[in-house]
Copies of this chain bind each other. A is one copy, B any other.
Amino acid sequence: MNLPTSIEITEVGPRDGLQNQSSVIPTDTKIAYVDALSKTGLQRIEVSSFVNPKWVPQLADADAVFSGIVRFENVKYTALVPNKRGLDRAMDVGVDEIGLMTSASESFSSHNVNATIADSIERMKPLVESAIASGVGVRGYVSCIVACPYEGEIDAGQVRNIVEQLLDIGVEDISLGETIGVVVPTDIARIYDALDGVLSPEQSVLHLHDTRGTALACVLFAMQLGVRRFDASSGGLGGCPYAPGAAGNLATEDLVYFAERMGIDTGVDLEQLVSATRIIEASVGSSLCGRTYSASSCQDPSS
């Protein structure tokens, strides 16, 4: 079946997940959530975003969360950074890596980061230079790799074009985001075909939404192509406030269960992960939709 022996998961629940909650979660709860995630064996956690609190009030306490969490030696703690001000804040609290956002869709870029794609990449240049000079890692995020909620289908050539521009400015670690959850394995095939010679499956990170139940089928196919790194959100927390219909990230529990049962090492303890998710579910005020997570609290469906 050509499966890998291990995969690496970036947990994006504390940022991507909480950003999309209507309620603001208390800082202490976020800290407890991240600390619990740190104990699961996850290698990377996207803790928050140093965006202007005016735009994302849910993550206004990024500095306090970073200062409050216990930093585990084997875990990388990352955060999104939209500009110089954000980078300074991120540096002050000692993030291990910054994430920079752009999109394969012009319309999504204007709605999401309020800039053309070209401008969003231009803005990244000095941030990438500063981060690298300070020994801080950089990951580039490309959203809407398959379709955009405003434009519809996105050409894979456009994804290649954006990836080339990111590589040109020194961003070598690139996460490909299927933002609205329409993806099927043939889309994955099409995109990696278009990226041939530019970004290999091994080099890339895949960020999927499970809006239509298709995420793990795409993970399977992507793993067979050579992809080894995936983003996921505990409990399936999140979605995208700017992407109508995007009803949840691929749930970390589902990915861990899926991989481990196939003999693929994730390093993650599923039971501890479920416990971490329970902390945040209690606070968001609605049931999370991750399948494995939901099954863990359902012992008798007939009752």
B295 touches A181 (CB 8 A): yes
Across the interface, A302 reaches (CB within 8 A) one of B22, B184, B186, B216, namely B22
Across the interface, A247 reaches (CB within 8 A) one of B187, B262, B263, B295, namely B295
For A299, list chain B residues within 8 Å (CB).
244-245
A16 near B: Cβ within 8 Å?
no
Complex Cα spacing A290 to B211, Å:
10
Complex Cα spacing A301 to B217, Å:
23
Which one, A72-80, A83-91, A157-165, A253-261, is touching chain B?
A253-261
A301 touches B246 (CB 8 A): yes
CB-contacts of A97-118 with B (<8 A): none
A292 near B: Cβ within 8 Å?
yes
Also in contact, A184 and B214, with CB within 8 A (given A220-B221, A247-B298, A299-B244): no
Number of copies: 2
A170 near B: Cβ within 8 Å?
no
Also in contact, A1 and B212, with CB within 8 A (given A299-B245, A301-B239): no
B216 touches A214 (CB 8 A): yes
- Output the least CB separation between A256 and chain B (Å): 10
A124 near B: Cβ within 8 Å?
no
Sort chain A's interface into a size bin.
Answer: 35 or more
For A300, list chain B residues within 8 Å (CB).
244-245
Chain B residue with minimal CB distance to A245? Answer: B295
Across the interface, A245 reaches (CB within 8 A) one of B3, B240, B298, namely B298
A-B contact pairs, 30 of them (CB 8 A): A1-B186, A1-B189, A3-B186, A20-B301, A22-B302, A181-B295, A185-B220, A185-B262, A186-B262, A210-B291, A211-B295, A213-B251, A213-B254, A213-B290, A213-B291, A213-B292, A214-B216, A214-B258, A216-B217, A217-B219, A217-B220, A241-B301, A242-B302, A244-B300, A244-B301, A245-B299, A245-B300, A247-B291, A247-B301, A248-B301
Closest 4 CB pairs of A and B: A241-B302, A213-B291, A213-B254, A216-B217
